[in-house]
Structure 1
Amino acid sequence: MNRAPAVAGSFYPADAAVLSHMLRDLLDRPADGPAPKAIIVPHAGYIYSGPIAASAYARLASARDRISRVVLIGPSHRVAFRGLAVSSAEIFSTPLGGIAVDHSAIALLQHLPFVGYLDQAHALEHSLEVHLPFLQQTLSDFKLVPLVAGDASPHQVSQVLDILWGGKETLIVISSDLSHYHDYATAQKLDRRTSDSIESLNYQALDSEAACGKVPVAGLLKLAKEKSLSIKTIDLRNSGDTAGDKYRVVGYGAYVVE
């Protein structure tokens, strides 16, 4: 069976028991508000961005047995290509087990000329794999629609999301960090400005300096605007707040569409 490995090592522990314990600690917080339809969450190592991502994942508690499909889109860090890449793998693996890929959902996208199979884009892409253990810890039984975004327009991403939007059984997860390698005070200002743009659904204001996942984030914002939905910031910090120094930080935000 074609199986795609997940990224451990510097991103999260490779030992299942240690990883599960870490996730339980991160998710041990009140699940304020209803379960979101879509979330934007960061994808750095768990010691850096895990607490911020957990603020969104904790809200899935009430939908644990309801969500059966997760559409996960993250930016490509290693492979340059146009459009969006799907995977031919049948299973995505983490130390917590395997997740079946929803190829019936992927088939719904095959008429789009900018969506295609590109396994190289998935092979070492942490922007997706970092989220898989969080999903395994918070949901009961689900299939995965993994997409890596290359050079794609907000319209293209929003088309994909609209096709896969579904109902209460479907969760949309957008993977993105915010600013990179500024000093603490500068990062706070830049990330607050980016969060204001996200909350106002101003996808045209985003650039790659504001968010490494600008492409999938912009697509979600465009579709949310068309559907008259709102996005709320629930956590906004950086690596200087979690596990790093304050001289060169990376920004992280968690956002929910309810």
Structure 2
Amino acid sequence: MQIRKPAVADLFYPASPEELHAYLNSVMFEPEKKIKPKALIVPHAGYVYSGEVAAKAYSLIDSFDTYIVMGPNHTGLGAEISIFDGIYQMPFGDVEPDIELIEAIAKNEYAQIDYYAHLQEHSIEVQLPFINYISKKPYKIVPIVVGTHNVAKLYSMAETIAEIVRNANKDILMVVSTDMNHYEDQTITLMKDKDAIGMLKQLDENGLMRITQLKGITMCGVSAAYIAIAAAKMLNAKSCQIVEHKTSGDVSGDYTKVVGYLSAYIE
């Protein structure tokens, strides 16, 4: 089985297991009641910028057996829709793949078992410490890097994933790893993010794809969000609840060129 070594440890999050655990302890909290939504939407920047936004949503989430973690392809490497069937090696230990689910999803004509799209891609890696932290039982992952905006392919993937989740004899959470609008000023980013969030709240995956293209909203994980929204609706999801929305400017104090960060869940 192939092993993918950490690409952004000590860049996006602490590489030391002790420092990483201490950080997670500092940002995570225990809610009155844990929830089991169908999908989670969380950011993937360096923890100093987006970690608290992600933590507010992850803190609400109960343990699952398998996490289907979908993120964008920032590197351009590998297949358009790439599933990795090896081990994600992390500072806290190895994260095992759910081979049964991976093989089932890979039967979709648009998906491929592929290593290269995952090699240097950070969007999935940065979610794993949070997933490990909230998991009170053994778990596995299905890591999917999505590098296409073709809605026919994305909808087909949603159908495949929804059918597998519906028929699986285990708890499965879809995790969408995405940042929102990139590198415009605070005012523009808040306006653009509001438009995208409006489509998320309506569970309108086609509207989300349209508005991001029409208004130039650089939401990097929009295709992963499309799959998750469509699949969640096939699984009878009724709402998208926004947990937190901030920008990098709220951390750095520089509002001239910011990135938007959102956490939300679909139930």
The answer to whether the 8 Å contact 1:197/1:203 transfers is yes
Corresponding residue number in structure 2 for 1:256: 265
Match of 1:215 among 192, 216, 223: 223
SS of the equivalent of 2:179 reads: coil
Report the Cα offset of residue 38 of structure 1: 1.3
Separation in 2, partners of 1:139, 1:189: 35
The answer to whether the 8 Å contact 2:183/2:259 transfers is yes
Instruction: Using the TM superposition, name which of 182-191 and 235-244 deviates more.
Output: 235-244
Separation in 2, partners of 1:248, 1:217: 24
Aligned residue pairs: how many?
253
Q: For each residue in 1:68-105, what CA deviation from the matched residue of structure 2 results, as whole angstroms up to 9, or x when unmatched? A: 1111111111025664111142x211111111111111
Corresponding residue number in structure 2 for 1:246: 255
Letter paired with 1:235: E
Q: For each residue in 1:8-43, what CA deviation from the matched residue of structure 2 results, as whole angstroms up to 9, or x when unmatched? A: 122101111111111111113635662322101111
Q: For each residue in 1:211-254, what CA deviation from the matched residue of structure 2 results, as whole angstroms up to 9, or x when unmatched? A: 11010101222233344421111111111112451111000111
Report the Cα offset of residue 210 of structure 1: 4.2
Corresponding residue number in structure 1 for 2:95: 99
The answer to whether the 8 Å contact 2:66/2:139 transfers is yes
Q: For each residue in 1:98-146, what CA deviation from the matched residue of structure 2 results, as whole angstroms up to 9, or x when unmatched? A: 1111111111123211111221100011010010011111103201111
Matched, 1:131 2:127: yes
Separation in 2, partners of 1:95, 1:244: 31
Q: 1:16 to 1:104 in 2, by over 3 A?
A: same
Pairing of 1:50-69 with structure 2 (within 5 A)? 50-60=51-61, 63-64=62-63, 67-69=64-66
Match of 2:74 among 73, 77, 89: 77
Separation in 2, partners of 1:35, 1:216: 20
Corresponding residue number in structure 2 for 1:232: 241
Corresponding residue number in structure 2 for 1:198: 200
Q: CA RMSD in A?
A: 1.9
Separation in 2, partners of 1:199, 1:185: 21
The answer to whether the 8 Å contact 1:72/1:173 transfers is yes
Letter paired with 2:246: R
Letter paired with 1:161: I
Structure 1: tracts of 5 or more residues without a match: none
SS of the equivalent of 1:108 reads: helix
Separation in 2, partners of 1:223, 1:102: 19
Separation in 1, partners of 2:38, 2:158: 15
Structure 2: tracts of 5 or more residues without a match: none
Separation in 2, partners of 1:185, 1:196: 17
Separation in 2, partners of 1:191, 1:32: 29
The answer to whether the 8 Å contact 1:36/1:59 transfers is no
Separation in 2, partners of 1:117, 1:210: 27
Letter paired with 2:163: I
SS of the equivalent of 1:59 reads: coil
